[in-house]
Each structure stands twice: as C-alpha cells, then as structure tokens.
Homo-oligomer: A and B are copies of this chain.
Amino acid sequence: VGVEHTIELRSDNAAGVAPPILDAIVAAGAGSALAYGGDEWTARLGKRVADVFEHPDVAVFPVVSGTAANALGLSALCPPWGSVLCHESAHIVNSEGGATSLLAAGAVMRALSGEASKLTPESVHDALASTRWGDPHHSQPSVLSLTCPTDHGTIYTPDEIGALVAAIRPRGLRVHMDGARLANAIVAVGCSPAELTWRAGVDVLSLGATKNGALSTDAIVSFDPAVAAELVYRTKRAGHVASKMRFQSAQLDAYLTDGLWLRLAATANEAMAIIVAGLRELDVVLLEEPQANMAFVRVPPAAVARLEGAGLLFYAMGGGVVRFVTSFQTTTADAVEAVRRMRAALA
C-alpha cells in the first residue's frame, strides 16, 4: 500500500482548533478584562447557553477537561454517601482515575450492564430494587449518569432518556449527562439541545467542546440553580476557575453561535458514515452500531498491522479490536481514502 499521508482516526481530541474558535480567542485578547469570569465574554456565554438550550436559569462553568466537568458536576449532585449509577462502559468509571470519588468525598460508582453500551430501564430498576434504602451500610443511589453518545459511539434518544428518568424518579435520583460529544448526538438524533438534555430530565450536563473544535475548554452546564450555587465554590477549590476565563468563554460562545458546534459534529458524523458504509462491505465485525463519529471493529488480528502500515492512525484495543474516530477535521476525501486503505489492508 502506497501511503502519501496519514489519516487521523485515533481520537477527535487529536484534532486542531476550528478557525472561528481561534478567531474568537484572538479577538478576546484585545485589551484587558476582569479576571475570574467578570468579563463580557463570560456574560455573553451565559446568555448564549440560555438561548441555545432554551432554559432561562441555566448556568455554565468553563472547565479544562471532560473529567473535571464530570467529577465536579457529579460532586454537586451526589452526596458523599451516595452512588452514581452508570453503564459499565462509562468514562467516569473506567477512564477518569477515580476523579469523582475524589471530588465527591468518597462517593462511589455503581456500574450496570446493558446492550449497546446503554443503560436500560430494567437494569436501572433492578439496581434500585436491590438497594437497601436508608441503610447506611449501603451506598445510596443518588445520581443516574448517562453518556451520550456513549463511549462506544451509540446514542440515547430523548425517549430512551425519558424512560430511564421515569425509572429513577420514584427514588429521587438526579440525572447527569456526560456529553463529551453531545453535538455529535444532537446531529445524529436530529433533535434540539433541550430535547436531549433538560427536557428529557437531565439536571447537569458535561458539555464537550474540546473534541469538537475548541482549543482548551469544556463546560459544566447546570439546569438547576441550587447545583449552580454549589459549583461556584466547587470549581474554584478544585482549581478549575481560570483567571483569564474570557478565553474559555470566547471559545464556547463561538462554538455555540450560529450552529457551529453542530456543523462541526455533522462533518465528523458524515465522515464516519462513509467509513462505516465501507466497513460493512468488508470481513469485519462492527461491535456496536456506530451512530455518531466512532466505530469499534473486530478485524483479523493480522490485519491490525496492515492497517497501521497503510497510514491509518487509530487505536488498537487488543484482541483484534480497533477504534476509529472522526473529527471536524476529517474530510470526505479522508474518509473515502480511509475506506480504500481499509479495503486493501483487509483484502
């Protein structure tokens, strides 16, 4: 296989910065402004989020990572003696080094199984039914955390979220969404941001931006003013209030303006659709049905090295499983060429 250039499919966080976001950063750098969010960009961001999410009482907290957004958001929802119900594939339980247990003073994760990397009302119901409520020997389920898209590229619809929320409401759990790739889900579902979040029952959202074109910021979006009042303190004392917050706010404001975030995500999703269509014609197994910008594929073990040799950058997960992720920078041409190389490598 002759390789002219590598094609980046390792992760969407390997990408660069979307030009309108970089422009916004540069523009925010003119002059000086009050630190710690007392600036016009942060004020504007607050209004933007309220507008985009159609929620008047929303609050937004820029943070530097999805882990910070998840762990801080959960720490404001879950008491120290609580547990967070999540899918066993969730980033919060597998890939954040125990961040939530640290920042929520020893709260614990309770990982549940479920098809397509998604929780089901049944598994949630069973978890609640098997809990000894009010018995302090047992961590009390306090939050339902949903990842959308999941870490395996599948998506909850608003109706599916609604059904899960209905399952937990009798016990009063709060609802958190890890939306590290929320834009990709919104585009795939074709719904509004509100429909996939607070209208479906989400109280606090980790809003990803870094994987979809931002330089250095994600955000916590709280639909509950009481939670937001706590996050003012929780973010600061975890070191997550940047003094030059305006440069994060400017990124997020540009990201959410005129649908930029959705256009960037659509580019990534469309590139993945091309790749998935190509993969379906090859001798591989798609481990989950790819619904956003990510695919997990089982290939003959010997093929992994051939794919690497073909100039494709991706993650080999072990056991012949490979992960492909597209980003806002993955062009149609990249996707078509990637399929061509996959076909050759898997021939």
Q: Which residues of B contact A216 (CB under 8 A)?
A: 64, 215-216, 242, 244, 247-248
Residue in chain B with minimal CB distance to A208: B243
Q: Which residues of B contact A237 (CB under 8 A)?
A: 67, 71, 80-81, 96-99, 102, 106, 136
A238 touches B136 (CB 8 A): no
Residue in chain B with minimal CB distance to A7: B32
Is the C-beta of A241 less than 8 angstroms from some C-beta in chain B? Answer: yes
Number of identical monomers bound together in the oligomeric complex: 4
Considering only CB atoms and an 8 Å cut-off, how many residues of chain A contact the other chain?
A: 77
Residue in chain B with minimal CB distance to A232: B136
Partner of A72, one of B106, B234, B239: B239
A233 touches B101 (CB 8 A): no
Distance from A54 Cβ to chain B, minimum over Cβ atoms (Å)? 28
Q: Which residues of B contact A13 (CB under 8 A)?
A: 35, 243-244
B236 touches A238 (CB 8 A): no
A64 touches B240 (CB 8 A): yes
Q: Knowing A105-B80, A234-B81, say if A138 contacts B94 (CB, 8 Å).
A: yes
**The 7 nearest A-B residue pairs measured at CB:** A68-B239, A102-B106, A136-B236, A81-B233, A13-B243, A101-B106, A97-B237
CB 8 Å contact bits of A221-261 with B (1 = contact, 0 = none): 00000000010111111111111100110000000000000
Distance from A305 Cβ to chain B, minimum over Cβ atoms (Å)? 19
Q: Which residues of B contact A70 (CB under 8 A)?
A: 239
Distance from A263 Cβ to chain B, minimum over Cβ atoms (Å)? 18
A10 and B81 alpha carbons, distance in the complex (Å): 26
Q: Which residues of B contact A96 (CB under 8 A)?
A: 137, 236-237, 239
Q: Which residues of B contact A31 (CB under 8 A)?
A: 16
Is the C-beta of A3 less than 8 angstroms from some C-beta in chain B? Answer: no
Distance from A219 Cβ to chain B, minimum over Cβ atoms (Å)? 13
